[in-house]
Structure 1
Amino acid sequence: MSNQAVEIKILGRTLKVNCPTGQEDALIAAAEDFDNRLKELSERTKVSNPEQLLMFTGLNICSELHNERREKNNYADDLSNKISQLTENLDKALQNQPKR
């Protein structure tokens, strides 16, 4: 798979980033989301130091990611438990069927 150079803009700086072909739109959307988060955090906290903004925004994104993973794992565990209960109920129901 080849890479494509894509220009993105973060905190007013234009950067060229290599990206797998076909993923350019996703990279641009991610960069726009990241830039918006940085601007919102700067406005909300009045922090203007780019390094601090990058660090705090990165930490916020990691926190969101961990929460999403935890929720996904909880959902998967719940679903697995429900499937086990259904399987158990079906097994019991089949055992109670009269034999032909």
Structure 2
Amino acid sequence: MDKNIQPVSVRILDKDYMVACPVGEQDALIASSRRVDREMRKIRDSGKVLGSDRIAVMVALNLAHELMHGKHYHNAAADPSTLEHLQKMQQRLDAALDKHKA
């Protein structure tokens, strides 16, 4: 493993995921995972969406919508490194979710 990458354990909907994270970004990853967990719990507890895969897709859509229509979108669009960082984080989360399904 790259010495600049550190595994970080996060818990989302009572499931543990090990995610590769750049050194120094652990707090941001943990904060992000807490937000995802909170949003997934809201959707699950509403009873309108069943299945963790569907809940995850709804959260992803809601967060993407929020990002695109909030000030965060304008900052990310103006700063390609921020957008790239978000894309890499999304890829790591997708990989962790795929690995957990297997």
Match of 2:42 in 1: 40
After the TM superposition, which parts of structure 1 deviate over 3 Å for at least 4 consecutive aligned residues?
Answer: 69-73
Structure 1's unaligned 5+ residue stretches are 74-100
The count of residues paired between Structure 1 and Structure 2 equals 74
Q: Deviations over 1:67-89 (max 9, x none)?
A: 0159848xxxxxxxxxxxxxxxx
Give, as a single letter, the amino acid of the residue that structure 2 aligns with 1:27.
L
Task: Normalising by structure 2, report the TM-score.
Answer: 0.64
From 5, 21, 26, the counterpart of 1:19: 21
Q: Deviations over 1:34-93 (max 9, x none)?
A: 0000001111244231111011111000110110159848xxxxxxxxxxxxxxxxxxxx
1:54-69 equivalences under 5 Å are 54-69=56-71
Task: Normalising by structure 1, report the TM-score.
Answer: 0.65
Q: Relative to structure 1, is the Cα distance of residues 70 and 20 closer, same or farther in structure 2, using a 3 angstrom cutoff? A: closer
> What is the CA RMSD across the aligned residues, in angstroms?
2.3
Q: Which has the higher contact order (CA 8 A, sep 6+)?
A: 2
d(CA) in 1 for partners of 2:34 and 2:21? 15
- Tell me, yes or no, if the aligned pair for 2:67 and 2:73 is still in contact at 8 Å: no
Q: Percent identity?
A: 29
